Amino acid sequence: MAQSKTTRIGILTAGGDCPGLNAAIRAVAKAARGEYGIEILGIYDGFAGLIENRWRVLDWDDLSGLLTLGGTMLRTSRAKPHMYPAPGGGVVDMTGVACENYRAMGLDCLVCLGGGGTQKNAMKLVEAGCNVLTLPKTIDNDVARTDVCFGFDTAVAIGTEAIDRLHSTADSHRRIMVLELMGNKAGWLALAAGVAGGADAILIPEIPFDLEVVAESIRERDRRGKRFSIVAVAEGAEPRGGFVDDDQYVDAGEGHHVATRVGRRLEKLTGLEARVTVLGYVQRGGSPTATDRLLATRLGSAAAQLLAEGEYNVMVASRGEGWKAVPLEKVAGKRRTVPLDHELIAAARLIGTSFGDD
Ligand code: F6P
């Protein structure tokens, strides 16, 4: 067994789940335990389990069959130690309790698998005296200082398949199909799935849109004999100047999904029929793609190496074909959105995709 400066770790998954979390747990735990003899405590329900002492030692048997499984075997929550729901209502700072439990569990380091919120919560534990090591996961792909997050590739594949399937029904009915994708305040998912699926317009938070511009691109397609148009819209996308709560955007009585607003307005502007699909949590479910399995395995095993070296308070970031340990303070509280000069935006524009901005 190789030498290790770490003897006992806790591992938790926090924030929204995504495909690849179990593959990453497996990689961290198998490498940490098998190669370095590190004992692994699985903490349940994200930071809530740390505060409420829900954990158990993970044995070899627990680590089998995880690679292909969606969700997270450790379950998750959006609990924040520094803003924890108080019994009588309101919130209370439980950072101190989380750190006391960390010490009582005899941990050398807490491994947190999560997105932007988790990186921030983890940093607060570091400031309170715990050792932490994080991995970047999220279908939103918006964690700072990493090329990519695991979970993203799978969500892109699901979004792409949805667009593929919308094509034939759109064509049959001569319709506009508006597909809403997740992504929070970043457009990575809508952009990647939109380009891969060949959407005719892609609307993302980074580029405020004008629906008159989108409508004109759809009319132009119609004039050229194209019987349908597909619009991929990120849940966080907004029109120039923001949404106006008048009948321009809210006249459908179908809730406030951006896709609904976009669909109804495009119907009015083009005279064509529009239909709306909100893909929702389907994007977060099921088995990870091979790419996500590879990423989760690479980053998870790298985390074990860092633990053995006693290198804490970093995020294991993906860099090209490899990985890099990035100080957590450079990641926490930051969001990576799509740069306006991103080559995928440029490529899409060149092939005639509308972003609703010109
Ligand atoms: O961060 C992942 C994500 O799926 C976002 O794309 C989405 O905005 C959000 O989580 C939904 O959160 P919840 O699971 O709390 O409804």
Which of 78, 140, 158, 281 for mutating ligand 1's site (highest number of atoms within 8 Å of CB)? Answer: 140
Coil, helix or strand at residue 181: strand
- C-alpha 188 to ligand 1 mean position (Å): 14
The pair of three-digit structure tokens given for residue 206, joined into one six-digit string: 């980074």
Phi-psi group of 17: left, alpha or beta (phi > 0 → left; psi -120 to 50 → alpha; rest → beta) = beta
Rounded-to-integer distance, Cα 37 and Cα 229, Å: 56
Give the model's pLDDT for residue 256. Answer: 78
Strand pairing of 109-114 and 132-136? parallel
Q: Which atom of ligand 1 is nearest to the CA of 15?
A: 1
- C-alpha 218 to ligand 1 mean position (Å): 30
Tell me whether the CATH fold assigned to 8-151+288-330 matches the one assigned to 155-284. Answer: yes
Write out the catalytic residue numbers. 140
Q: Which atom of ligand 1 is nearest to the CA of 184?
A: 8
- C-alpha 152 to ligand 1 mean position (Å): 13
pLDDT digits 0-9 by tens, 46-94: 999 999 999 999 999 999 999 999 999 999 999 999 999 999 999 999 9
Nearest CA to ligand 1 atom 5: 184
Residues within a 6 A CB radius of ligand 1: 16, 78, 115, 138-140, 182-184, 235, 284
- C-alpha 281 to ligand 1 mean position (Å): 8
pLDDT tier at 339 (50, 70, 90 boundaries)?
Answer: very high
pLDDT tier at 1 (50, 70, 90 boundaries)?
Answer: confident
- C-alpha 283 to ligand 1 mean position (Å): 10
Average pLDDT, the chain: 96
Q: Which atom of ligand 1 is nearest to the CA of 78?
A: 15
Q: With a cut of 70, say whether residue 251 has pLDDT above it.
A: no
318, 134 in Cβ contact below 8 A? Answer: no
In the chain, what are the domain boundaries? 8-151+288-330, 155-284
- C-alpha 111 to ligand 1 mean position (Å): 21
Q: With a cut of 50, say whether residue 231 has pLDDT above it.
A: yes
Alpha-carbon distances, residue 315 vs 34, 135, 141, 336 (angstroms): 22, 6, 15, 15
Superfamily for domain range 155-284:
Phosphofructokinase domain (3.40.50.460)
Which of 182, 278, 282, 335 for mutating ligand 1's site (highest number of atoms within 8 Å of CB)? Answer: 182
- Percent of the chain clearing pLDDT 90 (strictly above): 95
Nearest CA to ligand 1 atom 9: 184
**What mean pLDDT is predicted for residues 234-263?**
77
Rounded-to-integer distance, Cα 183 and Cα 357, Å: 20
151, 323 in Cβ contact below 8 A? Answer: no
**What mean pLDDT is predicted for residues 204-223?**
98
Q: Which CATH architecture has domain 8-151+288-330?
A: 3-Layer(aba) Sandwich (3.40)
Nearest CA to ligand 1 atom 8: 184
pLDDT digits 0-9 by tens, 264-284: 999 999 999 999 999 999 999
- Percent of the chain clearing pLDDT 70 (strictly above): 97
Q: Which atom of ligand 1 is nearest to the CA of 115?
A: 1
pLDDT tier at 245 (50, 70, 90 boundaries)?
Answer: low
Q: Which atom of ligand 1 is nearest to the CA of 284?
A: 4
Q: What is the dihedral of CA 99, 323, 181, 346, to 10 degrees?
A: 140
Nearest CA to ligand 1 atom 14: 16
